[in-house]
Each structure stands twice: as structure tokens, then as C-alpha cells.
Structure 1
Amino acid sequence: MSTTSESDPPTSESGPPADDTQHTGPPSATATAAVVADGPRAAGREVWPLVRRLHFYAGVFVAPFLALAALTGLAYAFTPQLDALVYRDELQVARVGGRSLALADQVRAARAAHPEGAVATVVPPADASSTTRVVLSVPDLGEKQRTVYVDPYTGKVRGELTTWFGSTPLTTWLDEMHRSLHLGTAGRLYSETAASWLWVIVGGGLLMWLGRRRHYRGRGPARRALWPDGSAKGVRRTRGRHAVLGVWLGVVLLFLSATGLTWSDHAGARFDSLQSHLRATAPELDTARAGTTPAPGGGHGHHDGGAPTGTADPADDVDLVMAIARGEGLTGPIEISPPKDTGSLWSVAQVDNRWPVRLDQIAVDASTVQTGARVTWADHSWLAKLSTLGVQFHMGRLFGLPNQLLLAATALGLLGIIFWGYRMWWQRRPTREDRRALVGRPPARGTWRRLPRALLVLGVPAVLLVGWAVPLLGITLLAFLAADALTAVLRRRRTAGSPHIDPAPPERATL
């Protein structure tokens, strides 16, 4: 059956086959003997059909999920600019000028306007045009908080927003859209499934394309791999665009997949377990007063309940605590958190996530004007550092605008890859012989049966390990294998009852 009007240039036996037409059928004795005789070259040749089949099915079924992730991620990357437009009144002062009021006076102004919550965090302005943020813990809001925005020059409250870990409602909405499409558990499963299969799609595509490029004459293989052939037409031109763009974006896509999985529900839990066993988790600041037991929930205090009932007003000491922290070298954007209880100290944390990051933390005893424990960026393990930096890059924060533009280009490029992948599938559809098939014929099934035994012995445990580390990849892969096996059984039953189906020629039989 013809699937395209053009054919690829011939390839050598060691590379992926250039012919786009696939045939099913059992391996012939001649083909089996050739595998044994050729040794490693034949073993490598038999891997390509399996790689092609995995890439094909993963692309067809997971690409819609990836398209949604690209679109929502594209919007989320520019949330700082969107927040500045939507929440200008809250985030920016009316007029820059004069001397700033004491931080304590600003906290009192926020409490006077919103007495319903306890102070959880105070965030001084990052620059001269920004407002001070006083974050209140309100029992009715659950995990979310109420952030009051105060003009540091006038003490006037410019507004309040319901925030989630410091994020505005718009950013929170876009974050949830990217993570779960606002579908709860089902949506989070979609997101993690897409990120899990992205490794298979990108890795398989790179293997096939770079392997194919070695066999072209004329321009060098490297140039052919990095730039599509302008003289190609039809499905070859579409495949060239699809593959070359995948080469350019492959590393970034794999990195985004890995960093996204670190905070997913299932693969993220595996990652957290690994960090714990390696003792590579991020260190926590000890805010316990000497001779007391630390308060439950850790010592950061950034999103906890704030000062307990019956303690002194946290506004009384906030200026002193900030001055001590500045004197200890905590420059740049900071968050100041009051003690959780009488046995705890104040905590001050740098929150500058742009490179080079400033993420030191310090505990401060306001009553004795002394500092307590300290955690510096250097105290983080290499795995904790890599995780933190990767997440910030994934969110578009690490390098500012260049980071955002790179993520935008990657998202748009991924949409282009998906479009050309589906177009290539459509171009390979039967045109005459079989009108019942609407789209291109998939690669032949049963490819694993021709793999060398040594490769199977090594590959099966590796797949099981990957399936354990990335559970949704393992589960969906099992579902695919079951569906594929069921389809094969049904097809064999249909072909057994039809006397008009010609078997594939022995020299073209695959798998």
C-alpha cells in the first residue's frame, strides 16, 4: 500500500529504514539468520522499528495533552507582566516621593483595615514604586491568605487580594490551569502524563532523525540535522520541519519535563523520597528559641498562622528585625515572618529567585537583638540547588525576560512540532487502495520480538525501573501494550477468515 508519493534517499542497513511504508508479518528464516550473522549491526538495526512505533503512538495520543500544556505554560510565563497590568492599583504606589513610613506603621494600617487575620508575613517594597505587602492568615481562607497592599509613603491601603503562596488571583488561576486545567485530580493526571511521555517522544524522535541524517550525501550530516532540506516536498518536507524543530528544542523540552515532574503528584513523590534517602533536601531554618521545642510545621513561617493570640503586636519589632537582617547581609527582596509562638524567633528570608539567586535565611531574637540560626544558599545540597534553579527556570523567573522569551519560543515551537507531526500522519494516509483508512498507517506491531535477547534482558529491567520512578508513564505504557495486544488478536481473527489478504513479502517482513 502506498502511503506517500515520494520516497527517501536510500539508507544503509545500520540506520533507521527510510521507507515510510510498513508491512506486518512474521519474520522470515532468512531475516532471522541475517540478525544472527550481522551481530551488533543487525541488533542495532532491529531497534529502529521499536523506537519508531513508540514515537508514533506516543505522539499521536499524547500530543493533545502537550498542546494544552504548551498553551497554558505560554500564558503562565508572562504572569509578572499580566499582574502588573491587572493589579497596578494594588502593586504600585500612587506617587513616588518623600520618605517611607516606618514598617510598623504600615503593618498597623493594614491591620486596622483588615483586623480579621493574624500577620503571617511582611514583604517590604522591592523598589521605590512598589507597595508593602502585609500577608494575613485568615481561618476562613484555608491554604490561601489575604494580602493587604500599603503605600509606604502615605500609609494608605491601596487594596487587598486573596493570594496563594504570594501569588495573585490571576497567577494562581493560570498556575492551576497549567497544572490541572481546573479539573482537580483528573487534570493533574493529564499534566503528569504529558510530562512523563515527553521524554519518550523527544528521545525517540532525536534517535530516528539523527540516525537518518548520517546516510545523506551532499551537505554534511550536522547541517542536514539542524536545517530542513529546502528541496524536499510532500511528507519529506513536513517530516524535516517536524524533526529539525524537535532537534533545536529537544534539550529545553526534556529539561521542562524533568523539572515539571519534580513537583507532580506521583513522580514528584518519588523524587522527594530520593532526596530524603540521599539526605539532599533543602535545609530548614531552626527558629526555636534556645531551650525550647520547635513549633510544628517547620521554622520558615512564610505561610503559617503568624503571631499567636496573647503575644505582643508583631508590628512593634518589625523595623528592628529588618534592620538586624540587613546588617547581617540579607540584601534584596526579603520576607519577614513573626514568631509562631512564644518559643519561636522571627525569621527573615531572601526571596530573590533571579540569577544569581539570593536565598539566605536568618532567625532573629528581637528581645535580645541577637541572631539565631542561619541557612545560606551554600548549605543546600547540589540536588536541592538543581531542583530550586530548575523550578525557577520552568516558571520563567530565573533569568527574567530572556527566560520568559525562551519559554515562549519553546511553547510555540512545540505547537509547531505537534502540527507538523499530525500533518505528516495525514499525508501518509492511503489515497486509493484502502478508502476505509482515514489517516496514515502506523508502524508495524510486534517489533520487540526481533530484538536481540541481550537487549531484552537489559531493557526490561530498565523499563520497569523507569515505570516505578515515573508511575504514570509505566501505567499508560502497560495500557498501551494491552490495547496493542488485543488489537493484534482481533486483527488475526479477521485476517484468518479472509482469503484475499496477501502476506507481506519475506524480504519486507518486519517484526
Structure 2
Amino acid sequence: MLAPNSIAAAATSNAEVVAHRRTLWRWHFYAGLFVMPLLIVLAITGTIYCFQPQIEPLLYRDRMVVADTHGPQLSRDVLLAKAVASEPRGAVPTLAQIESDRTRSAEFVFRLPSGESESVYVDPYDGAVLGKLSVEHRLMKQVRNLHRGLMMGKAGELLMELAGCWTLVMIGTGVALWWPDRTNARKGGVWLPRLSLTGRAWWRDLHAVGGIWLAIGALFFVLSGLPWSGSWGKEFKALATSASLGYPKGAWGEAHVHSTAPGAAAKPADEHAMHGMHMTMDDLPLKQTPWAVGATEVPDGVSAPASAGHVSIDDVVALAAKQGVTDDYGIALPGKPTGVYTVSYFPADPRDERTLHIDQYNGRVLSDISYASYGRVAQWISYGTSLHMGRYFGFANQIVCSAISLGLASLAVTGFIMWMKRRPARTLGSPARPVKRPPMRAWRGGLTLLGVIFPLMGATMLAVWCFDRLAFGARRAVA
């Protein structure tokens, strides 16, 4: 027979465990309530965008795909002239997309007088203009905008950034709730759901077991996606750079970047005064730019010589080929007399990433930034991005990413069903607060750390805590 003190101690211990789990459940509930609808949007749009290389040639086959005549192709400057002739007065060519596949048309991007951009597709064998596509309104651009910011501009980007941060809370609390312990011993429902169950218990097993299998993938998606976010991602990039861990600095001769300073004629009288006026890689009309070089400055070339002869696009392609850049990349065209050609190569293998700035008059390579030039953090992010987008190991990577994405969407659905099954009518249905607040110092420290690393999330966590105290402070569960 147990002594009264032992019984009391066991009861206290059990009450603490229950309070601990209830607290975790409440945070998991609040995180899921916010993340759930956004997670479905992220999952669906991410899966669609993952298959962009397959979808676009099917969707726009009449413009993107041509028959290989096995004959010679026209020079890219001739093809550009054909595209220019098809555009309205005032349209400015900004980008040449380079493909080595002989069944793909030549693509050139123009900035229209209205401020929007459109792609013009030209048959590389006979110069016929095959059609045009709006850059801003094409399907994959819309899908990407939905994925990154719900097509709501800055506000949408911040909302999606918050969704990513709160997913970290959802993952952490979900794993803690799933974790089997002595007081929560069970024979099933750990690694495989107990399909013999019925009702809400069946949905709970499906949700918990599915969540633990997807936890690592979800964590990877969040951590590899946040560096691209509109607010925190930019600040993180600046911090990584200041610590010499991010992208190479844009100044000449720094960060082990192979570069050649432009001629004296190209330098402004007060270089420091002009520093903030330079265009960055993110400002260029490129389809994709490696994260590591997004904020680096685009250098100016030499001023136009007396006999102003321009390097042709084919010459730029040949120069890029010598540096190992051979297929599926963009060349941003010079937009001013001292402008340069910018070659941006964003391949599936991050180790092959390359950025070249080439003088438009003499063909000199002014700057050559390769993967080896990146800081350690930028290299990790490059790998993460390639895996996140389903590019690194081909079609298998796309399948894995799609499975994780759609699995996360299914978790949102099962979580919603569980909520609806337990929610009383006309109430929020949040888990009851425990009578005694458990210490949970490690969890509070972890949440505080997240709030410091992600200040926007920290502000919303504080808001949720205040809301919970004010709205539900008087309602406590019986221990």
C-alpha cells in the first residue's frame, strides 16, 4: 500500500504532465489556426511551381517549342532584331534567354512603355515571331506571387513570412505532443496510425503519425524558404554579408571575386556619393538570380569609345561557354551607354552557379562570381534553394518535394476536421488552460529565442499571449 505522501507526489506529478501537455496543445492550436489556410496555399502553389520546367512548354507549346530542322540557326542579334520589329515603339529589350535545346524558340524580354514586360518568342531557324507572353501575368508568375505573398504585395509577403515562422512553433509543439512517454504509453499510433480506431481518435492518429513523418521535410522547407522572404530574408542577407558568410561584397577587389576594375572614365568623381545609385542584381529583369548575389552591385563598363562597336549576344554566349555556362540562363542586356551584359546562371547544381558582368564594347569580363566565391552560409542556402525548388536531383527531387507539400496540406485538412469535431457551437474551441502554469523553462526559452531571431514573429507571439490572457484568462481546466 502506497503512503499518502507517495500518492500525493504521484498526483502532483501527473497534474504537472497534464498541465504541460495542455500548454503545448494550446500553442499548437493557435499556430495551426493561423498557419492552416496559408499552409494549403503554400503546398499547392509550391507543388505547381516545382513542375514549372514541364508545365510551361506544354502550356505555351505554340510559342516555346519549334521543330528541329537540323539546319543552321540565325544569329541571336538577328533574332533580337526580328523581335524588336514586332514590338511597339518605345519597347526596350532587357533580357535574352539562352537555351541549347534546338527544339526551343529564342526568347527575348521587353520593357513596354506601360511599364510592364513581355516575352517575345522567335523561331531560331527562320526568324518568324511565334507569339508573346506577359511576364507579369503568365501562369507561373502568378503561382510564384501567390506562393511568396498571396499576390498582396508587401503585406502578403509579411503574412507568408509569419506563416513560415509559426510553422516552426507548430512543428515543435506537434513533435512534443506526439512524443511517447511513460505517462502516455501506447502500443500503436506512434509510427503507424491505428486504423481500427473510429471518429476523432482515428483523425488524431492520422494527423499525429503523418506529422511526425513529415516534420523534417516541413522544417527544411521553412528554413530554406525564409532566406528568400521579403523582410527577414533581406535583413538576414545583410547580416550574413557583414559577417563575411553571405554573398561577395560588390566593391572591386573584395571577397575573393575575380574582377577587373572598369576604366577611369567609368568612375564617378565621388565614388562614395554614387554608391547608393548603383543597380543591384535583384533590380535586373532576370527570371532567377542566385540568393548569394542578389544584392551585389552591377558594375558600369567603360564609356562608349569613338568607334562604338558593340559585342554581339553570340559573342557573350561564347564568353559564357568558356566559363562553363552553356544552357538555360539569362543575359540582361545593357540599358545605358555604360551598361554591361550580365550573365546569370542558376542551374540545378549550386556548385555551377555563375554571375558574369561583361563590358558591352570590348567584351572584357569585369566581374566573375562563382559558387566558390560565396560565404559558407550562402553556399548552404544555395543547396537548400535547389532542393526546395525540386531541382537538385531532377524528377525524383520534384516528386519528393510534391509529396512533402501535399502531405503538409493533408495535415492542415486533418487538423481542421479534428477541430470541427471537438469545437462546441459558436465558440473558438481552443484547448482549456491548465489550473497551474507549468514552468516549461526550456520551451519559453525556445520561443523567446525564436522571437529574437524573427522579430515579426516575436511581436505576434506577444499579441497571441496577451489575447489568450485577456480573452480566456478566467477559463481554466480542472487539473
Shorter chain as normaliser: what TM range?
A: 0.7 to 0.9
* Residue 296 of structure 1: aligned partner: 278
* Contact 2:100/2:326 (<8 A) preserved: no
- 1:176 matched to 2:156? The reply is no
Counterpart code for 2:138: P
- Tell me whether 104-113 or 205-214 shows the greater mean CA deviation: 205-214
Task: Indicate the residue corresponding to 1:411 in structure 2.
Answer: 405
- Per the alignment, residue 107 of structure 2 pairs with 133
**Distance in 1 separating the partners of 2:354 and 2:144:** 26
In the alignment, structure 1 residue 466 sits paired with structure 2 residue 450: yes
Q: Secondary structure at the match of 2:190?
A: helix
Whether 1:335 and 2:323 are equivalent positions in the alignment is no
Q: Tell me the equivalent position of 1:362.
A: 356
Q: Give the Cα–Cα distance (whole angstroms) in 1 for the partners of residues 57 and 428 of structure 2.
A: 47
Q: In the TM superposition, what whole-angstrom CA distance separates every residue of 1:377-397 from its partner, at most 9, and x where no partner exists? A: 111122112223323433333
Contact 2:180–2:186 (Cα < 8 Å) also in 1 = no
Give 1:72 deviation, angstroms: 3.0
SS in 1 for 2:180: helix
Q: Structure 1 stretches (4+) deviating beyond 6 angstroms?
A: 35-38, 41-45, 304-315
Q: How has the CA–CA distance of structure 1 residues 234 and 42 changed in structure 2, closer, same or farther, with 3 Å as cutoff?
A: closer
Task: Indicate yes or no: 2:205 matched with 1:240.
Answer: yes
AA at the equivalent of 2:79: Q
Partner of 2:25: 52
| Structure 1 CA distance for aligned equivalents of residues 325 and 49 of structure 2 | 29
Cα distance change, pair 218–62 in 1 and its aligned pair in 2 (3 A):
closer
Of 316, 320, 325, the match for 1:321 = 316
In the alignment, which residue of structure 1 is the partner of 2:167? 198
What aligned pairs does 1:449-460 form with structure 2 within 5 A after superposition?
A: 449-451=437-439, 455=441, 460=444
Deviations 1:285-310 (A, max 9, x none): 76852333388214798439999998
SS at match of 1:258: helix
1:279 is aligned to 244
Aligned with 1:147 (options 108, 119, 134):
119
| Offset at residue 185 of structure 1 (A) | 4.0
* SS class of match (2:120): strand
Q: Cα 1:255–1:394, aligned 2, differ >3 Å: closer, same or farther?
A: same
3-state SS of the aligned residue for 1:54? helix
Query: 2-side partners of 1:415 and 1:281: how far apart?
Result: 33
Q: Which residue of 2 aligns with 1:84?
A: 57
**Aligned with residue 482 of structure 1, among 463, 466, 470:** 466
Q: Kindly report which structure 2 residues correspond to 1:362-511, keeping only aligned pairs within 5 A, or say none.
A: 362-365=356-359, 367-368=361-362, 370-428=364-422, 437=425, 442-445=430-433, 449-451=437-439, 455=441, 460=444, 462-489=446-473, 491=475, 504=478, 509=479
| C-alpha displacement of 1:124 | 2.4
1:267 aligns with 2:241: no
Cα-to-partner distance string for 1:318-339 (whole Å, 9 max, x where unaligned): 2222223323333333333444
Q: State the identity as a percent.
A: 30
Instruction: Decide whether aligned partners of structure 1 residues 119 and 314 sit closer, same or farther in structure 2, where only a CA change above 3 A counts.
Output: farther
Between 1 and 2, higher relative CO (CA 8 Å, sep ≥ 6) is seen in 1
| Residues 89-145 of structure 1, C-alpha deviations (whole Å, 9 max, x = no match) | 22112554311112221122222222533332222223111111222334532xx53
Deviations 1:268-299 (A, max 9, x none): 24422432332333235768523333882147
Instruction: Name the SS of the counterpart of 1:389 in structure 2.
Output: helix
Letter in 1 for 2:246: T
Change beyond 3 A, Cα 1:214–1:263: farther
**2:412 aligns to what SS in structure 1?**
helix
Find out whether 1:118 has 2:92 as its counterpart: yes
Q: How many residues align?
A: 444
Contact 1:121 1:338 in 2 (8 A): yes
- Which secondary structure state, in structure 1, belongs to the residue aligned with residue 121 of structure 2? strand
How far does residue 474 in structure 1 lie from its aligned partner after superposition? Answer: 2.0
Asked if structure 1 preserves the Cα contact closer than 8 Å seen for 2:98 and 2:107, the reply is yes
* Alpha carbons 1:425, 1:439 under 8 Å: kept: no
Return the TM-score normalized by structure 2: 0.79
Distance 1:161 1:370, change over 3 A: same
Structure 1 gaps of 5+ residues are 1-29, 430-435, 493-502
TM-score by length of 1: 0.74
Structure 2: how far apart are the matches of 1:117 and 1:171?
23
Residue equivalent to 1:11 = none
1:270, 1:300 → 2: CA distance?
A: 15
Q: Which structure 2 residue ranges, 5 or more long, are not aligned?
A: 251-256, 269-276, 287-297
**What is the CA–CA distance in structure 1 between the aligned matches of 2:323 and 2:451, rounded to whole Å?**
47
CA contact (8 A) 1:426 1:440 kept: no
CA shift, 1:340, in A, is: 4.8
Contact 1:428 1:439 in 2 (8 A): no
Q: 1:366 to 1:235 in 2, by over 3 A?
A: closer
Query: SS at 1:211's partner residue?
Result: coil
Distance 2:171 2:78 in 1: 55
Aligned-partner SS, 2:352: coil
Aligned pair in 2 of structure 1 residues 128, 443: CA closer, same or farther (>3 Å)?
same
Partner Cα separation in structure 2 for residue 300 and residue 182 of structure 1? 19
Distance 1:400 1:448 in 2: 52
Cα distance change of structure 1 residues 213 and 358 upon mapping to structure 2, 3 Å threshold = farther
Query: Which residue number in structure 2 is paired with residue 5 of structure 1?
Result: none
RMSD of aligned residue pairs (Cα, Å): 3.8
**Contact 1:63/1:418 (8 A) holds in 2:** yes
Point out the more displaced range, 65-74 or 361-370: 361-370
Alpha-carbon separation, structure 2, partners of 1:35 and 1:218: 23
Instruction: Look up the match of 2:77.
Output: 104
Determine the C-alpha separation between the residues in 1 that align with 2:426 and 2:106.
60
Name which of structure 1's ranges 297-306 and 380-389 shifts more when overlaid on structure 2.
Answer: 297-306
**Which residue type is aligned with residue 139 of structure 2?**
L
Q: Secondary structure of the equivalent of 2:437?
A: helix
Amino acid at match of 2:353: L
Aligned-pair CA distance for 1:259: 2.6
Q: Post-superposition shift, 1:199?
A: 0.9
2:253 corresponds to which residue?
none
- Specify the structure having the higher radius of gyration (Cα): 1
Among 48, 69, 72, the alignment partner of 1:75 is 48
